[in-house]
Structure 1
């Protein structure tokens, strides 16, 4: 059964225990309610996708308690510093380059070398992230392609018993998602309008790119995707000479996404194993068939993107 509870020291402790065990907690922010999990835990991040029933692995926004914490995982420039000083905590998300040794799950960033980070301006979210001491991946706490929740009751109506704990922080203040700005380009690019207006941003850092680009995906990221440096061959029964074999289920292979055939485990291992295989001197990567249901839909979507040679 799902528990809806007002914030208290006891609820804070319960939330931290759930996060430590790899589970999820629905939390209030100033924008919408978020489905939070430990952003450094692949399996916990996979659970987010499973609960939301997302058909593809789009990047998730990483929530930190301070700019100082965010700087441990992503590389700030002067524009990020100015925007953080002006609007954090608040409803704006920065897309920045991740450090090579960043502990954030590659599943949370869809395998990309960038991360989307923000500092929520809500006392409950702030207290939880500080108490847990690790960043939280937290997309909106609703089923994919449904209306974003602005109250604890909204979360319960959408997710039901899929979430063990919903922390009730009342109605959200902003009610729309955060603005997302890509700061990895020479001219900052607004990927998604949101709680901080374009005019407010321009007043701080000047010109921004407002153009809509093909393939932009929720929560506002461009459709860039991680692809290995060697060819990938999907739905393979066996490897060819020079290939490494990425398996699923009980089989002989070099790496196995899930020997037991568990799609949630496979999702958690996907980007890590692709990167491990890509670092070796090989002709290519052969991938065993993955079931096309549940999280298998998202795994197959990401594999097809990775296999596309642009």
Structure 2
């Protein structure tokens, strides 16, 4: 089993051990404000190969390169004025920008899945400090087996990877609980490649223009999180539930009981108060609890599509999609 180091009481040891492991090309699980990531040196092809192998992730699915700040990011990518405006407003934070890679960038093509663009984010907290100490960008997809539920605690990570992982840095539950929002600026417009922990309305207020949204899933993979089936528990997922079948797990929203829930194997409420930020933070953890209960299926009551509900529903649709 991986060593788990508390980044509050063991911060210096955590940074030193993580830096040493990353220098050897060994992936390390790190906390971010979105979810826990499986981090490795984005410039080292052997380290990136280990990420793909550990996750069982298809290599056409690019990885996000995490930077310490915008200055580091600009040594690897070209920022147009609108992308820079977004970065200055929302970094560090749950925003990823897909921008053209500089020819001289040391980020390995494996990290970018061979694309001429690179997905970049600047995280907060101990992850940010680690990148600054390490001095190179870290590729850090979610620290879970590919396609499964993303981890929001160190314990989720350790339970998934077990002895395959050397070190986990533990900063407690992820504050946001959803992966980052991914944007790409093209022809003066801002395209939403993946809804996430940054509310689309905040982006639109900053830019003064509506986000261009993809017409459907399953289009060309330009960024992480675009696979049609993703974030999935082992149990089948049923969306839009207005009642509960015997033996199902129910994950509801807004404190509204559903007919038949007395026959449910488990009942959880993402936010009894109807708070979408609370619902986002609880989503993956509750999915894991329901899945661990061994139920026949997991039913979700409707969640509003407004605000962070757009990202929550995106994850639910991908969790419920047919699996390859």
- TM-score, normalized by length of structure 1? 0.69
Separation (CA, whole Å) in 1 of partners of 2:195 and 2:156: 23
Residue 216 (structure 1) shift: 4.7
Per-residue CA deviation, residues 183-207 of structure 1 (Å, 9 max, x unaligned), is: 2444221000001111111111123
User: How do 1:244-259 and structure 2 match up within 5 A?
Assistant: none
Does the CA-based 8 Å contact 2:59-2:110 persist in structure 1?
no
Q: CA RMSD, aligned part only?
A: 1.7
Instruction: Report the count of equivalent residues.
Output: 222
Alignment equivalent of 1:63, drawn from 57, 60, 66: 66
Match of 1:174 in 2: 176
CA distance in 2, matches of 1:115, 1:42: 15
Partner of 1:88: 91
- 1:14-56 Cα distance to aligned partner (Å, 9 max, x none): 1111001111100000000000000000110010000001134
1:215 aligns with 2:245: no
1:144-199 superposed Cα distances (whole Å, 9 cap, x missing partner)? 11100000000011111111000001000000000000124442210000011111
Name which of structure 1's ranges 181-190 and 193-202 shifts more when overlaid on structure 2.
Answer: 181-190
The within-5 A match list for 1:108-123 is 108-121=111-124, 123=125
Which residue does 1:38 correspond to in 2? 41
- Structure of higher RCO (CA pairs closer than 8 Å, 6+ residues apart): 1
**In the alignment, does 2:79 pair up with 1:79?**
no
| Runs of 4 or more above 6 Å deviation | none
Cα distance in 1 for partners of 2:225, 2:159 equals 25
Q: Which residue of 1 aligns with 2:12?
A: 9
What is the deviation of 1:101? 1.1
Q: Is the 1:37–1:137 Cα contact (8 Å) retained in structure 2?
A: yes
Structure 1 unmatched runs, 5+ = 224-310
Unaligned stretches of 5+ in structure 2?
229-324
Cα deviation 1:191-234 (Å, max 9, x = unaligned): 000011111111111232113344254624599xxxxxxxxxxx
Give the whole-Å Cα distance in 2 for the aligned partners of 1:195 and 1:212: 21
